[in-house]
Chain A
Amino acid sequence: SQQGEEDPQALSIQEGENATMNCSYKTSINNLQWYRQNSGRGLVHLILIRSNEREKHSGRLRVTLDTSKKSSSLLITASRAADTASYFCAPLYSGAGSYQLTFGKGTKLSVIP
Chain B
Amino acid sequence: DTGVSQNPRHKITKRGQNVTFRCDPISEHNRLYWYRQTLGQGPEFLTYFQNEAQLEKSRLLSDRFSAERPKGSFSTLEIQRTEQGDSAMYLCASSRIEDFSYGYTFGSGTRLTVV
Chain B interface size, as a band, is: 20 to 34
B7 smallest CB distance to A (angstroms): 13
A97 close to B55 (CB less than 8 A):
yes
A54 at the interface (CB under 8 A from B): no
Instruction: Give chain B residues whose Cβ lies under 8 Å from the Cβ of A90.
Output: 103
A99 close to B56 (CB less than 8 A):
yes
A106 close to B33 (CB less than 8 A):
no
Contact residues, A88-110 vs B (CB, 8 A): 88, 90, 92, 97, 99-106
B103 close to A45 (CB less than 8 A):
yes
Contact residues, A27-61 vs B (CB, 8 A): 30-31, 33, 35, 40-45, 48, 50
Residue in chain A with minimal CB distance to B58: A100
Chain A interface size, as a band, is: 20 to 34
Mark interface residues in B19-51 (1 if CB within 8 Å of A CB, else 0). Answer: 000000000000101010000111111001010
Q: When A41-B109, A105-B41, A105-B42 are in contact, do A99 and B103 touch as well, CB less than 8 Å?
A: no
Residue in chain A with minimal CB distance to B48: A100
Q: A40-B89, A42-B107, A45-B105 are in contact. List 20 more A-B contacts (CB 8 A).
A: A3-B42, A30-B100, A33-B103, A33-B104, A41-B108, A42-B93, A43-B91, A43-B104, A48-B102, A50-B100, A88-B43, A97-B55, A99-B31, A100-B48, A101-B103, A101-B104, A102-B45, A103-B43, A104-B42, A106-B42
Interface residues of A, Cβ cutoff 8 Å to B: 3, 30-31, 33, 35, 40-45, 48, 50, 88, 90, 92, 97, 99-106
Q: Lowest 7 A-B CB distances belong to which pairs?
A: A103-B42, A45-B103, A42-B106, A43-B106, A42-B108, A33-B103, A103-B43
